[in-house]
Structure 1
Amino acid sequence: MNVLVVGGGGREHAITATIAQSRKDPVIFAVMAKKNPGISRLCQDFLLEKETDVKKIVAYAAAKNIDLAFIGPEAPLAAGLADALEDIGVGVVGPRKAVSKIEFDKAWARSFMRKHGIGGCPVFEIFTEQGPMFDFIAKLGDVAIKPSGLTGGKGVKVMGDQLPSVKDAQQYAAQILGSGSVVVEEKLVGEEFTLQAFVDGEHLAFSPSVQDHKRAFENDLGPNTGGMGSYTDAGELLPFLRAEDVQQAKDIMQHTVTGLYMETGVKYKGVLYGQFMVTRNGLRVIEFNARFGDPEAMNVLPLLETDIVDVMSAVVGGTLDRLTVKFSKKATVCKYAVPAGYPDNPSKDKEVSVGDVGDALVFYASVYEENGRIYTTGSRAIAVVGIDVSIPKAEKKAQDALDNIIGDLHSRRDIGTMSLVQKRIDHMNEIRG
């Protein structure tokens, strides 16, 4: 079986590594914008090309007789790559454009939630004119401002330290209004978690819950990033969650998949990512993504016990309900090494060397390889994942590995530490009252 992975980041390295472990012995091909050293070593062949160049990717897939494709990032989904590959007979893990809109059009996504009565929808409105938008921001008083389109996880700004006042929120909203509609919604206060699932158009197979850390610096300070690291506990729940929180999130995601088919007539096939917040008033949906998270994929894919090629085939064939998708009950801690100065003024083209990482996993992200040496690009560089029976043991493995990656790099040492986890537990207890 010939399998194609589209994308060249840490998430796609994790996807490729999981496929490479399949007992089906798939032959792996890849398309990526830059040569990812981790992915390239696992492939029989790869194409260096923009991941949104649909025509070239489809031609490559046809030439290599690809049976199954796994699309990692969101941009190719928004470009209609899943549609084009399916149209030439390739089975695709990645939703068609009509339903991947749940991620790349936030205004559409919120309107869809309201129309179909999807649970967890915050108070919101969508604006194309400045006057009514300013009035709504002033009326709510404490808001989140979201550009409607894709922003790589960095476009959303929330009142507080990012937007100190109503006036700042209005100014930011006006600034992004020129690029399209703006979603203004109530600011949510609580603890975030991510739930991800394989979806076959009707059935969902859920992975363990994960918590990501968006802020660049320790103690959750600094600007937002694509994600500095994440962790899972040994089982389905994070330490601050209750079983009913995750069950409610599952119900919301199931309702969303059903609603997407009702709305578009297209079955959602791929991975659905739900980002949730547990608030004083119950569970709220921050956003949906139409693919695995980065870094969250690196937490859950190494725990997947079921053969991923079987999972991919079930997603494509609509038979997930006939397959038991199992994940190991172990804790994971993922930490990213990023260029010094990231995200605002990152160093670039600096050599990175990976020393002894023990039994931690290493996933290459935004790096490139020349003459056998690895260099940074300015975005998140390398992720390490520690896996063990508890969060503290997994954290130690991840940090020990990170300490042996040498370069002009920065990382958050606090991710997965019990002091930070306890802070989350205490905050959640306070929120729940």
Structure 2
Amino acid sequence: MTPLNVLLIGSGGREHALAWAISASPLLGQFYCAPGNPGIAEYASLVALDVTDHQAVIAFCREQRIDFVVVGPEAPLVAGIADDLRAAGFKVFGPSKEAAQLEGSKGFTKDFCAEFDIPTGAYGRFTDKAAATAYAQAKGAPIVIKADGLAAGKGVTVAMSLAEALAAIDDIFAGQFGAAECVIEEFLDGEEASFFALCDGEHAVALAAAQDHKRVGDGDTGPNTGGMGAYSPAPVVTDAMAERVMAEIIKPTVAGMAKRGTPFKGVLFAGLMIGKNGPKLIEYNVRFGDPECQVLMLRLKDDLLTLLIASADGTLDKVSVRWRNDTALSVVMATKGYPGSYGKGSEIRNLDQAGEGDDVEIFHAGTALKDGKLVANGGRVLNVSALGKDAAAAQRRAYQAVDLVDWPDGFCRRDIGWRAVQGR
């Protein structure tokens, strides 16, 4: 088979993990990433493309004879980059703009679940602040307040008091998240899990489950973040539970999207609440999770590029996916101050030594090179990831690596994977 020239779009820890996995494929020819980061540069040629300029991306693909484009983050998908690339004749991993509404609009997804009988929490949609306030007051706390649209993981408030709920509604209608619609949802009780499935518009293949840690502080305290760490497998997602998730949530979604004439091709990331009555959908994402992608890639035994192409080609019924039995665990190192205001430009040293060993990988999430030095360039900066025979071994190995990173301006949680380690 002729080697495939591949372009990966994105610049975070998720894309570094994807680049790491794609680079091992026997199918790979030339490999590019736009815009990428210093970690990705080890595996792919970085391209200074503005990925919001779809015509510039298409022109690059023509010049470099790109065979396959992998879109990492959600914003370009919601903006329709996959449609524009396909219209120009390129093969793409990632859903259309219409299908990406499953992440791009929380209201769209709640209405979709109601139409196709997919288990989720009760909800209301509001474009009027007074109506939203009245609904929240009638329902009482705890209750979940969400800004419709993309809010970089920050437009969700799990309000444990009515005062907190009303403040969140005020923020949304003051335009803090750029969205003029508010979705109010029933508070779901149980244990959260992240479930992933590849879809080709007709078929769906389950990937592994993971568990993310959203709160900034140990013991799941403090404000929500984009994710402070993750591990896989998630003990709460047993084989029987995974079958239920596929049967009750993923497959009805794929069938429903096809029925609507907007088939979903790409990866479906179902944020789940698993309670005494089984799984319920909290939200959909239309790309790999971050930091969940990092632990999935460490555990994946099969060739990632082959699987992504099968999703694009509609041939997922011809492939299977195998996983290492080991546990993978990833600790996010963030800049002090995150998720609030934080500085940029602090130097990070000793990554080479920290990342030594076959079962340790350090993925760059928010780094840059400045005068030949590696510096922090974001809130979540590094994903220190490790494999172990169980959660305790993976946790121990990951924190040994964390402790070798010389970065005084960084911090991390010290309890990633605590549920699995404690057997809870």
Which residue does the alignment assign to 1:276? 272
Task: Specify the alignment match of 2:402 in structure 1.
Answer: 402
Q: Does 1:36 align with 2:32?
A: no
What is the 5 A alignment of 1:19-418? 19-32=22-35, 36-43=37-44, 45-118=45-118, 120-142=119-141, 143-160=143-160, 165-177=161-173, 178=175, 179-233=179-233, 238-251=234-247, 252-263=249-260, 265-353=261-349, 354-357=351-354, 358-359=356-357, 360-407=360-407, 408-417=409-418
8 A Cα contact 2:232 2:295, kept in partner: yes
> Which letter maps to 2:218?
E
Q: How far apart are 1:327 and its partner, in Å?
A: 1.8
Q: C-alpha deviations, 1:344-373, integer Å up to 9, x for none? A: 122311011114233201100111112331
Aligned counterparts of 1:196 and 1:272: Cα–Cα separation in 2: 6
Distance 1:131 1:198 in 2: 41
Q: Does 1:6 align with 2:6?
A: no
The one-letter code of the counterpart of 2:330 is C
Overall identity of the aligned pairs, in %? 33
Q: State the superposition RMSD in angstroms.
A: 1.5
Residue 396 of structure 1 aligns to a residue whose secondary structure is: helix
Structure 1, unmatched stretches of 5+, are: 426-433
User: Gapped runs of 5+ residues in structure 2?
Assistant: none
Contact 1:191 1:424 survives alignment (8 Å):
no
Give, in angstroms, the shift of residue 279 of structure 1: 2.1
1:46, CA displacement in angstroms?
Answer: 2.6
Larger mean CA deviation between 105-114 and 321-330 belongs to 321-330
Alpha-carbon separation, structure 2, partners of 1:91 and 1:302: 26
> What amino acid is the match of 1:366?
G
Partner Cα separation in structure 1 for residue 144 and residue 422 of structure 2: 23
Superposition deviation, residue 297 in structure 1: 0.4
Residue 10 of structure 1: how far off its partner (Å): 0.4
Q: How far, CA to CA, are the matches of 1:376 and 1:259 in structure 2?
A: 43
What is the rounded CA distance, in whole Å, between the counterparts of 2:216 and 2:51 in structure 1?
27
Partner-residue secondary structure (3-state), 2:47: strand
For residues 46 and 211 of structure 2, the distance between their equivalents in structure 1, rounded to whole angstroms, comes to 32
- CA distances 1:239-282 after superposition (whole Å, capped 9, x unpaired): 2344332222112111111111112x132111110010012443
The question of whether the paired residues in 1 share the 8 Å contact of 2:336 and 2:411 is answered with yes
* Structure 1 stretches of 4+ moved >4 Å: none
Alignment length, in residue pairs?
Answer: 410
Structure 1, 58-67 or 71-80: larger mean CA deviation: 58-67
Q: TM-score, normalised by structure 2?
A: 0.93
SS of the residue 1:208 aligns to:
strand
CA distances 1:280-334 after superposition (whole Å, capped 9, x unpaired):
4432111000000000000111222221221122111101111122222211111
Matched, 1:15 2:18: yes
Could you tell me which amino acid in structure 1 is paired with residue 65 of structure 2? N
Aligned partner of residue 198 in structure 1, secondary structure: strand
TM-score, length-scaled by structure 1: 0.91
Letter in 2 for 1:126: R
